[in-house]
Structures are given as structure tokens and as C-alpha cells.
Amino acid sequence: MDRKRCTLKLLVQPSRGLVDEMFIILVQKAPSGFQLTVHALHKCEDGHSWEAFGHYTADTIGTVNVSEDPSLGGTYSGVEQMGLLWSLRPVPGSKPGLRLRKMNVQIPMEVTISVYQGHQTEGFMDQVPLASVVVERWYMAPGVSRIPITEDRLSATLFLPPGPGPFPGLLDLWGGGGQLVEYRASLLASHGIASLALDYLTAKIIMETGKMVDLQYFEKAYKILEQHPQVHGSSIGMLGLSLGTSITLKMAVYSEVMKLRCAVCISGCHMQPVDGSVEEILKYFNQNADRTRISEENELIWRDVLLPVPSDLAFKVDMGRLKCPLLVVVGEDDQNWPASESAMDMEEMMEQAGNSHLLTVLSYPKAGHLIEPPYTPHARASLFKSLATREKMIVLWGGETAAHSRAQEDAWRKLLVFLKENLYSGSNPGTTSLSHL
């Protein structure tokens, strides 16, 4: 096709939206039957570039609708409205073990959507596209406030929804990689929940004292939420992923300070020394390090380290004592933690204790460990830095890209409904509506 005669038009709507919001991509005014590639490019904050692409054929009126038309090849296939995001992968020549994570939630994730002639698989950077549009994907909705928290020697960030509130609250814990990770908390605040992201492994107090935080550290974070004038103090939940689930379950069952309205555990387990500190939990996990397996690609598989599930209640949280609703999210191909085995044992313990009505388990075949907000690119394996040795290694998380991505979308939708049902019941939701959930 002569580029000079090409009047192809590309529309992406909305061009600015939240990261968990779907967009529509339309290609118009192409020749009938025209073969084209729709390509997405994102340069993340660490300087690495990610791309995804699908192959399409224009219909008789010269249109491609990515929401309705099948991709015939590329990084995804079939009708996949958001395939250009969830199938993003490092561009050829990138270093191994990359994982895409938003660092600064106050600026958007920018993605360039382009159309190229023909069904192409490489060399996009060397060509001029037929059309391009830059879209913005935000973790913070307009009006969300970001408030660094340093009182009580905490390393945390509070995200408040727009309006006076009071809003329900949530304590948000990530896993064993440490750092203050804000993007999930900011997105939850965009859905009306005051969310406190907490660093508990690499916090400033740990750097200064050389000692791990105690369990009172989490209770102090809870009190920050409980006492905040824009937070409904009796409507607070807790969310953990991976190691964060160990803390979440421990505090939900044993803390006399934290009166949680509900809890969410993603890709975690209840096995731990129940009287143990954070440091003792980590030591317990590491004592069976010889059970680590190595994949054919030389990736570490840690799921066997905590197996078999112990029968001794000194080494697993007594789930029969849980008094608040609990949502457990499991990837059945989790190669990092024995989440499936743990969920089954928790369910059995709660059935025996008569509180299984509090438990909801979402279990996803072919999903891995890192179950994140929707359309987050799937990292089957990635670089991980050991907090103990500072050594970098490639860890296998598991999951198959398409199935894992569908699990992320479904789990997030149900997680928001679960939080809404349990945190808003009996509380004043302030001025923020969650009706769009």
C-alpha cells in the first residue's frame, strides 16, 4: 500500500484512565482485507522497554475493532480486548528476569499504540507506523491524596480517596522483596478505600537499627488508619501478598489491637511459628532451604520449602480462631509458595472449628504466584534480591500468560466486591461511590 494514499485512522478510548479500566482500540479507513499489526510500546521507569502486538485483518469496510476481532498471531491470539497490555514483554535484547512494576504512582504509565502495515513480529523501532496514539494508564484517580507516613517510625504511604470521607481503611502488605510498594494501595484508594502501603522488611527503622520490626509495628500502622479523621475506624481490613499473607493471618487471628473487618490473602500460606516474630518467621522459612528445586532454565522453585503442611498447631495459624471474613486467592501453578495446599488445610481447619462460613477461596488453574491488578504483564520468572544475602537470583513464580492474566482480572473484580461488602457494611462511605464495581 502506498503510504501517501493511506488515510488510516486510529482511535483509543479512553486515552486516559485507570490501569484496571478497559480501553477500546479502533482502526478505521483501512483498505478492505488490509493486513495490519497493532503494537503497544511502554518504556518503564527503569529505562527498559516492553512491547506487545497482535495481527489483524480489516473487514469489508476497512475497520479493526480489537475488542471484537481476533488477533491472528503475535504476543496473544483470539479476541483479547486488553491483550496489548497483559501480554507486554521486554523487547528483544533486554536482560533476563525483568518484571514491570510502577514506581512513581503520581505519573501515568504511558503506552504508545501504533499500527504497522502487514503482519510483523520484529523491527518495529526501525519503521514509521501508519498511525500512533499515546494513552495514559493511572494508578491514582484524580483527587486521590498521597500522604507519606513517618510517625511512630513507620515507613508507609497513605492514599486517601477524594472527598471528606470517612472512608473504610485497608493495610496493604507486599512480600519478601521489601521496599515501599505503592501501586496497589493507590489503585484501591481510587476505588474508595483509604489504603496504607507499608514497608516492613526494608523500612528506615530497620536500616537504622539493624533489627527487624516487631509485630507492634503493624499494630502502629493499624492505629494510624484507625485514628485518621478521614477513615472509619471500625471498618479496616488487611491485604497481603506472599509473605504479606503470613503477617496478615497472624495479626487477624492473634492481635488484640487489630480488630479487622475482613482480610485478603493472595498467594500465601498459614504455615509459620505462631509465636514467632517477623525475623523468626523468615528463619522458619529458610530452615528447609535445601528443599529448593532448580528448573531447567536455572530458576529457583521454592514451593516445597514449607511442605508438607504441619499438623502441629505451633507451626500454623489456628484458623479456627479467625473471626472476620477472609478471601484467599490461589494460583494453582504457583511455583513459589504452596498456596493450594495451604488453602485446603485452612478450609479443613475452619470446617472443623465451625467458622468456614467466613472463608472464600478463589483458585485459578494455570495462574502463578504474582497475582496483581488487571492487565499487569505476567512475569513467569524474574530477578529477586535476597534480603539476607543481597544476592540476586532468578525465581520461578509460575503461571501461563493468558490464564494468569484472566485470573488477575477476575480476582481483582471479586476482591473489590469482597472489600466493598465487608468494609462498607454499617459504615458511612463518605462521598465516594463504588457503584461502578
Active-site residue set: 242, 334, 369
Any residues with CB less than 8 A from the CB of 207 and at least 6 apart, and which?
Answer: none
Which strands sit side by side in the sheet containing 49-57, from one edge to the other?
Answer: 16-18, 131-138, 109-117, 35-43, 49-57, 89-90
Distance (Å, rounded) from C-alpha 287 to C-alpha 310? 14
CA distances from 175 to 255, 317, 330, 384 (A): 20, 18, 15, 11
CA distances from 23 to 73, 84, 420, 428 (A): 20, 10, 24, 32
Nearest to 242 by CA among 335, 147, 369: 369
84-120 per-residue burial string, b: 16 or more CB within 10 A, e: under 16? bbbbbbbbeeeeebbbbbbeebeebbebebbbbbebb
Distance (Å, rounded) from C-alpha 175 to C-alpha 185? 14
Helix, strand, coil shares of the chain, percent, nearest 5, are: 25, 30, 45
By three-state DSSP, how is residue 423 classified?
helix
Distance (Å, rounded) from C-alpha 365 to C-alpha 313? 29
Whose grid coordinates read 519478601? 176
Whose grid coordinates read 499504540? 113
Q: Retrieve residue 103's grid coordinates.
A: 514506581
